[in-house]
Amino acid sequence: MTNQSVIFFDIDGTLLNHEKELPLSTKKAIFKLKEEGHIIAIATGRAPFMFEDLRRELDINTFISYNGQYVVLNGEVLYTNPLNISSLEKLTEAALLNNHPVVFMDHEDMRANVPEHEYIKESIDTLKIGRFPTHDALYYKGRDLYQSLLFCPVGAENQYERDFKDFDFIRWHPVSVDVLPRGGSKAKGIEKIAEKLGIPEENLFAFGDGLNDMEMLLTVKNSVAMGNAEKKVKEAARYVTKSVEDDGIYHGLQMVGLL
């Protein structure tokens, strides 16, 4: 391949395995792509401060965070799409009545509306990022927030989906869902980067495994689902590679002709 491509990688379950480790084969593959002049980007639901170490390790300065709501190109903010704060305040009030905590997130930090809760610890623990949200019930006031976390059991988000039409709710853990601006997605972030760089759709690639990757996989022409993805995520992609635990990124890059 002689034309420059942009390859977008999800983090959890895609770049990182289930122990939150970066497989050696993945790291070697990414640096090989960079040597050949391709652009490597991250597309994640995580906040920017949750994957700084990974960006440094892979020398990546273009990324889509918060599922498309905070997009950075070559180290500069390209696009933001904050939450509706008035609606978020009402959501938080409703969640409190149900003992469902909320975490507010901007590009620098995350703060919880309650001092502590078992759901927060249980879900954030799985990310292995070495930090937890501190308590500030009014953190949403006077600032742009790009995503919130609503902590509730599976199925409990259905009521919030009916009552709060300004938001999309995407489950990422048995006790937590991402709260996004309605219609926001990784696909929108990819569109912004491709438009800015003038990259044609045939030179865009995306790898993912989660429910929050589905629109990205449906939209990007050369999309690859990981072998560890759920069935409906695999069905959204053009290709399906091996599991992240089985050198899935390396294998997938070979499948699409990049390696």
- Give percent helix, percent strand, percent coil of the chain, each to the nearest 5: 35, 25, 40
205-226 pLDDT per residue, tens: 999 999 999 999 999 999 999 9
Which of 10, 12, 178, 213 does the annotation list as catalytic?
A: 10
Say whether both 12 and 124 belong to one domain: no
What integer pLDDT is reported at residue 38 of this predicted model?
Answer: 98
CB distance 119 to 151 below 8 Å: yes
- State how many domains the chain has: 2
What integer pLDDT is reported at residue 20 of this predicted model?
Answer: 95
Say whether both 52 and 170 belong to one domain: no
State the pLDDT confidence band at 1, using cuts at 50, 70 and 90: very low
Q: What is the DSSP string of 166-217?
A: TEEEEEEETTEEEEEETT--HHHHHHHHHHHHT--GGGEEEEE-SGGGHHHH
* Catalytic residue flag (residue 10): yes
CA distance 40 to 60: 7
Pairing of strands 167-173, 239-240: unpaired
Q: Cβ atoms within 10 A of the Cβ of 73, count?
A: 19
pLDDT (average), residues 229-244: 97
Does 1 fall in a domain?
no
Query: Among 147, 165, 181, which residue terminates a domain?
Result: 181
Does 24 fall in a domain?
yes
pLDDT (average), residues 65-78: 98
Say whether both 198 and 177 belong to one domain: no
Query: Among 133, 161, 181, which residue terminates a domain?
Result: 181
Does 16 fall in a domain?
yes
- By three-state DSSP, how is residue 89 classified? helix
In 3D, which of 81, 145, 156, 155 has the Cα closest to residue 112? 145
pLDDT (average), residues 47-75: 97
The domain that holds 66 is classified in CATH as 3.40.50.1000
Expressed as residue numbers, the domain containing 119 is 85-181
Helical H segments across the chain, by residue range: 24-35, 52-58, 85-97, 118-125, 157-163, 186-197, 214-219, 231-236, 248-255
Say whether both 162 and 245 belong to one domain: no
What integer pLDDT is reported at residue 3 of this predicted model?
Answer: 84
CA distance 149 to 184: 15
Query: Among 153, 181, 209, which residue terminates a domain?
Result: 181
Q: Cβ atoms within 10 A of the Cβ of 200, count?
A: 10
The domain that holds 167 is classified in CATH as 3.30.1240.10
Q: How much of the chain exceeds pLDDT 70, in percent?
A: 99
pLDDT (average), residues 40-67: 97
76-124 pLDDT per residue, tens: 999 999 999 999 999 999 999 999 999 999 999 999 999 999 999 999 9
Say whether both 176 and 194 belong to one domain: no
Say whether both 175 and 199 belong to one domain: no
Say whether both 51 and 99 belong to one domain: no
Does 138 fall in a domain?
yes
149-195 pLDDT per residue, tens: 999 999 999 999 999 999 999 999 999 999 999 999 999 999 999 99
Phi, psi for 213 (deg, rounded to 5)? -95, -5
